[in-house]
Amino acid sequence: MRRGAWSAAVVLALLAAAVPAASAARAAPGPGAGPLPLERLFDNTAVSDDARPGRADFDGSGASLSAQDLAAAGWTPGRTVTVQGARLRWPRRAAGEPDNVRAAGQSVRVTGRGDALAFLVAGTSGTAVTGTGTVTYADGTRSAYRLTAPDWRTGPLATKAVALPHVNTPGGQLAGKARLYVVTAPLAADRRVTSVRLPHAAGLHVFALSVRDAGRGWTGAWATSTSGHPAVGPWSDRTLRLVVRTSAGGPRVRVRFDNTFAAAPVRIGGATVAVRGAGAAALEAPVALSFGGARGVDIPAGAQAYSDPLAFAVPAGRDLLVSFHLPGTVAAAPVHRQALQRSYLSEPGDHTADGTAGPYTSTLTTWPLLTGVDTGGGPGSVVLLGDSITDGDRSTVDANRRWPDALARRLLAQDAVPRYGVLNHGISGNRVTGDRYPGDGVSTDTAGVSALNRFDRDVLAQTSVRTAVVFEGVNDLLAGTDARRVIGGLRELAERGRARGLRMLGATVLPCGGRAGCTAAVDAERAAVNAWLRETDAFDAVLDFDAVIRDPAEPARMLPAYDSGDHLHPGDAGLAAIAGSVDLALLAG
């Protein structure tokens, strides 16, 4: 009798251990409960150990994320990862324990002020899952938000936060990308959030939630977009010294590194900032940056790292040297390919503190890993979202003659409108509607994911952005995309920006007559896009760059004085004319 009772107890214990998610679901508070921390609401288990895949069931069919793959990506239990400027903590749960919430109207305790709510999510319905929820503020007011979670197996790689190489199932591990996403929703300005009610949306899973406030008290002084993830070096125990030109100044500085599109963490062993003297030499001794009080930082796959605020006088319109040591081997890295600025690579060793040019014996023509420099205070920033014309293709190397540079100089030389920082998010070869780089893996194509797919990262998440200019479309048209689809993409960008409170400006597409492939049919599609831009109210205003650059005698071509010679990109004079044509009052509304 005693033996039989003992056997029953063992069986019950084993069953309880085998189905932790089901037990948690029965014990979890219902939607009517008061606001609780998200972890108290976990009712699903998404992560399993490779040796015990049956301990999790993310999607209802027994499939789950691999704990080993997450660890290899740097997403370890309890670790805070920063994506799109939002700090989100990966659940502090062991594999096989409940680690996410199935959105069903639960009330979550969340506090803070910021520009957006950030959700770490994935869907498990085979397609994107959408639902609406509400935010409650300290003054008793509420606002609604709409949340869409792409599917964890089929969602776009171009917008994922991280992709893992396997899917665990009770029958064995499957090769195939498992995705997690960070999605943001706007908040009412200057109100303190006290709670968030999740949507009722079957198949929408929430792992983490926070209020994003990455930009308050800062102005973006320089930025660039990650255009791809190519092979590099390999670099091992090397220091990179990147040259960047500030558009705004201030009394404090912080820098941002992005491990975008990566599958593995990267280690920054140490970093410094200095005003540039000449070449790779600093004007004065470089000043050390810190990360959470530490000298260096490990950046998980797909995540970012911001340095701590540093008292450092950032001059406007000057070159800075941002130096960082890579102690490990880096064979592929997120880069902005077309820097049009020579930067420097050292001999082996940590040379971040060296103010001389001696150790820096090689040059770079890309900007790897570094994506932003912010300065304390200031009026905020203007983001220029574009293609190679904004990127500065065919402008003079090392001369800062891109049209965003010329616009920044104009802003610094006047007092009629705020002296905004100017953030250049042009990518050569970029399109409005189609990805050139697929958004995952090592690739030789560095023309980036589409403007639609990078808008959240390269516009909405930028530091203190106030206004955005969208100047793209010619690459879509040259690739055979029709005007209707380009217009649809431009309209969506305008709507998404305005929904977040940004002032959105559109720019007409320049002529490309004389270039191979720029046929009369392509020009007709271009004319249709420009006609829509000139008449639409989708944007707050339109900058007619076509009218500035075209040859009045041959409107399908650029004025010869503005043509770099390839009939697609303006040269220095044309880029200056573009910047000079901008009514600065339009940037401020």
For 135-144, write each residue's pLDDT tens digit: 999 999 999 9
Q: Is the pLDDT of residue 379 over 50?
A: yes
Band of residue 215 on the pLDDT scale cut at 50, 70, 90:
confident
Residue 514 pLDDT > 90: yes
In-domain check, residue 220:
no
The number of beta carbons lying within 10 Å of the beta carbon of residue 27 is 9
How remote is the C-alpha of 148 from its chain's centroid? 17
Burial category of 519 from C-beta neighbours within 10 Å (exposed 0-12, middle 13-18, buried 19 and up): middle
Q: What DSSP string describes 317-379?
A: T-EEEEEEEEEEEEEE--EES---S-EEEESSS--TT--SSTTEEEEESSEESEEEEEEESSS
CA 277 – CA 104 distance, rounded (Å) = 58
Which residues 6+ apart lie within 8 Å of 294 measured at CB? Answer: none
Query: Quick check: is 207 in a domain?
Result: yes
Please give the model's pTM, rounded to 2 decimal places: 0.94
Question: Are the C-beta atoms of 52 and 45 separated by less than 8 Å?
Answer: no
| Structural domain for 526, as ranges | 379-588
Q: Which of 212, 235, 262 is the last residue of a domain?
A: 212
pLDDT digits (tens, 9 = 90+) for 7-21: 333 333 333 334 333
Q: What pLDDT score does 589 carry?
A: 75
Where does the pLDDT of residue 543 fall: very low under 50, low under 70, confident under 90, or very high at 90 and above?
A: very high
Residue 154 placed within a domain: yes
Residue 496 domain-assigned (yes or no): yes
d(CA 353, CA 241): 11
Residue 283 has pLDDT above 60, yes or no: yes
What is the DSSP annotation of 539-576? SSEEE-HHHHHEETTEEEEE-TTTB-SSSSSB-HHHHH
In a domain, 221, yes or no: no
Q: Are strands 550-551 and 554-558 parallel, antiparallel or unpaired?
A: antiparallel
Report pLDDT for 397.
98
With beta carbons less than 8 A apart as the criterion, state whether 64 and 53 touch. yes
pLDDT band, residue 29 (cuts 50/70/90): low
How many domains are there within the chain? Answer: 2
Let me know: does 371 contact 324? Beta carbons within 8 Å: no
Distance (Å, whole) CA 171 – CA 161: 27
Structure tokens given for 363: 């040059």
Whether 301 maps to a domain, the answer reads no
* Residue 163 and residue 260 in contact, taking contact as beta carbons nearer than 8 Å: no
Domain-located, residue 314: no
Mean pLDDT of the chain: 94
Q: What does each C-alpha distance from 185 to 238, 349, 429 come to in angstroms?
A: 40, 43, 29
CATH number of the domain to which 406 belongs? 3.40.50.1110
Degrees (nearest 5) of the Cα angle 36, 30, 64? 85
Q: For 278-299, what is the mean pLDDT?
A: 98
Q: Which of 212, 240, 259 is the last residue of a domain?
A: 212
The average pLDDT across 429-446 equals 97
Single residue among 212, 236, 267 that ends a domain in this structure: 212
Confidence band, pLDDT 50/70/90 cuts, at residue 33: low
Query: Left (φ > 0), alpha (ψ -120 to 50) or beta: where does 321 sit?
Result: beta
Instruction: State phi, psi for 369 to the nearest 5 degrees.
Output: 70, -45
Quick one: pLDDT at residue 189? 84
Q: Which helix (H) or strand (E) holds 405?
A: helix 403-412
Q: Is residue 468 part of a domain?
A: yes
